[in-house]
Chains A and B, each alone.
Chain A
Amino acid sequence: MKFLFITLLFFYSAEKVKSVEPNEILENEQLEKVAREIGKNLRCLVCQNEDIENSNADIAKDLRLLVRKKLLEGESKKEIIDFVHSRYGDFVLFSPPLRFDTLALWILPLVFFLFLLYLFFRRKN
């Protein structure tokens, strides 16, 4: 119980959703668009299930600024996402990387679909 209390203290309560501030938005519309795309894939680590574009938490803002800074320095979308991924691990990515253990996420639905086709349409003698 005490641990829970301290953990809650630790995660500073973010104010409710505010999203990108005017002075964060890049001048270059194209780059800003890419920044948003990247942002939608990055999880706000201290929030409940929000991405960094739509959170006012400190870490979300820092990551938003980092993404834009790197874009201005010419890094690619993949490079930036890989960088954040290398620092924070799988959890920060909202779409899990394609790996042996995440394969099931993509394959199982297909298997399920084919199985249902079989169940519904098979011929009984």
Chain B
Amino acid sequence: MIAELGIYFLILTLMFSSFGFSQPIFSIFNKKIIFFSQERLSTLIFIFTFLSFFCLTYSFTISDFSLKVVTNNSNTQLPLIYKITGVWGNHEGSILLWLLVMTFFGFLFSIQEINNKEIKTKTLYIQNSLIFLISLFIILTSNPFQRSFPPEIEGSDLNPLLQDPGLIIHPPLLYLGYVGFSIVYSISLAVLLFKINSNDFVKVLKPWVFASWTFLTLGIGLGSWWAYYELGWGGFWFWDPVENASLLPWLTASALLHTIIISEKRKLLLRWTLLLSIITFTLSLLGTFLVRSGVLISVHAFANDPSRGLFILLLLLLVVGTGLFFYVKSENFFPKRNQIHLISKEGAISLNNIFMLTLSFTILLGTIYPLFSSIIFNTKISVGAPFFNSILAPITLPLVIGMIFGPFLKWGNDDLINLVSRLKVLLFIFLFSALLIWYLNYRGPVLSIIFFIFSGLIITSSLFELTNFISLKPKIKFKKVPMKNISQLVAHIGIGLLIIGATGTSVLKKEKIQFQDPNQVILISKFEVKFMGVKNIEGPNYISEMGEFQIFKNGRFLKSLYPEKRFYNSSDQVTTEAAIYSTIIGDLYIAIGDKNLVDKDKSWTTRIWFNPFTIWIWIGILFLSFGGLISLIKSVRKK
């Protein structure tokens, strides 16, 4: 019954969004035909989708195994929180969540106070049309309310890897990011399609770009953190196709974010703003859907279904085709006005954008190249971590240089010699910092030293910027720092911290893998790790082998860690739960392997790692998000 209601509300969404799309077309012939305004439609559509989603969640919560999707992805023994959040641990449920967020943002936009009514209505028109397409996709290929007959007594289970707090927040956060760009797209397409001749759109666009970017940053960061502690061996980025797919819109959105700053301040690069808006949303779609089509091999892959793949292809074509078509068409009423000098703030930002877009392009190329090559050359190749890691350095370092000097350049036209003389003090500090960092690290690999130096320089230069707001005469006084400077500072420091963390964790990792006897102590990076043995423990829906490790430093007891190996009752799957002790200089990361049955009776395979500076990755990402949040608040308040 509830499931029938669920599909009913979904059909209502389809119906009303189709009105949103078709009414304006019919009204060309008969002006009286408009019954619902786009704003009202957005509200109704949101309510219907919300109710539909509620029905699905309810079905999962009560373990309604007459629904196929519940049978395949849930289980009565599952803790309640995972029954609820398991709704989005599968394809059908997660796409419905996507739709929910889309309708929610449409609703938010409809109640937003926007001076330019034309922009508002036309944007909602595009948004509602997109909603129509997605709901059509769901009903035709991914219906979550499909019944299975006869109904099962018990479900298969939620994949144990997903039975984790990470599942509760990661997909929703990520979708808030991806789907936020649907509004960004809708605004831009509305401007292009309806030839809205007003630069107001930048002001309307800005908060949505910052909000979506912030959510996406948090979503990706959370995913990375989740992988780090969940997968059991301390990796946080694997260049898996789905990870790459999430990074692509983030990169173009970062470029968009910077372009909007220029557009707002100097009315330049307006066309780039529009173009990047279209591209970012296209990449969001590509990312969300690519892995559900069966075209790529990935650890994140859902069950493959070619009919979905075909629909997705058409959807992508429609979205990017329409966007690019009207972009090209708009050249007449939206002429280019770029006169950007390389040595200027716009120049630095533009150069940064170029590097970000190149990185984006290269990652996309690497990800789809195997597909491309198999069709043209009939070969089967792999493009994996070694390739991506090798292109990362040459592209990221110039980006970092841009971040270091960009904030000090003047708008318009600046002079290199003048710049150097302005920054005399800073350059001296740079040299000093570089030498210091090199001295502290000279035993590490060269590339890591370079990265540490550069990230140190970003942080130094950002802090140095603050000195512009301190006046020394007649007495020391702190001027109020403008919000936009704060957000830039915080975000750039975040990048610096992130690079430090990523470099340390991946390049300077220390490892000790061995058979460890109870009471045996392993020394790793100034820590003493004492193995105390393994106990069997019962969890809600699993049995666990839990190891105990006591951590000492210089003989002083610090903490006990309890890594586990969990055997899930319903699915025969085993997961490794690592135990982590985080400090600011690095993480002690411990996992247990198998019991050694051959040699001795009590020893176990233990894996102990020391990952330097890992925590700075997460702190860096938080800084980044915080910077975005500050900008968001500022752009919303301005109205």
Contacts and interface: CB of A to CB of B under 8 A. Distances in A.
Direct contact of A and B (CB under 8 A): yes
Nearest to A37: B386
Given A92-B382, A112-B358, A112-B361, A15 B574 contact: yes
A41 to B, nearest CB: 6
A121 B342 contact: yes
A110 to B, nearest CB: 9
Interface stretch (A57-65, A70-78, A101-109): A101-109
A105 B369 contact: yes
Interface string B183-207: 0000000000000000000000000
Interface of A: 15-23, 25, 40-41, 43, 48-51, 54, 89-96, 101-102, 104-105, 108-109, 112-113, 116-117, 120-124
Contacts of B525: none
B235 A54 contact: yes
Interface stretch (B79-87, B210-218, B372-380, B408-416): B372-380
B463 interface: no
A89 B382 CA distance: 10
B299 interface: yes
Nearest to A13: B573
Contacts of B241: 49
22 contacts: A16-B232, A18-B576, A22-B515, A23-B515, A48-B240, A48-B301, A49-B297, A54-B233, A91-B382, A93-B381, A94-B384, A94-B386, A94-B387, A95-B386, A96-B382, A104-B369, A105-B366, A105-B387, A109-B361, A116-B354, A117-B354, A121-B342
Contacts of B114: none
Contacts of B339: 123-124
Interface string B217-258: 000000000000001110100101100000000000000000
Given A16-B573, A49-B240, A109-B391, A121 B383 contact: no
Interface in B497-532: 513-515
Contact of B338 (A49, A91, A93, A124): A124
Contact of B390 (A21, A23, A43, A95): A95
A120 B575 CA distance: 50
Contacts of A124: 336, 338-339
A101 B379 contact: yes
Interface string B539-577: 000000000000000000000000000000000011110
Nearest to B366: A105
A11 to B, nearest CB: 11
Nearest to A48: B299
Given A18-B576, A96-B382, A101-B377, A113 B358 contact: yes
Nearest to A90: B381
A2 B340 CA distance: 60
Contacts of B376: 101
Given A15-B574, A49-B299, A91-B381, A120 B354 contact: yes
Contacts of A90: 379-382
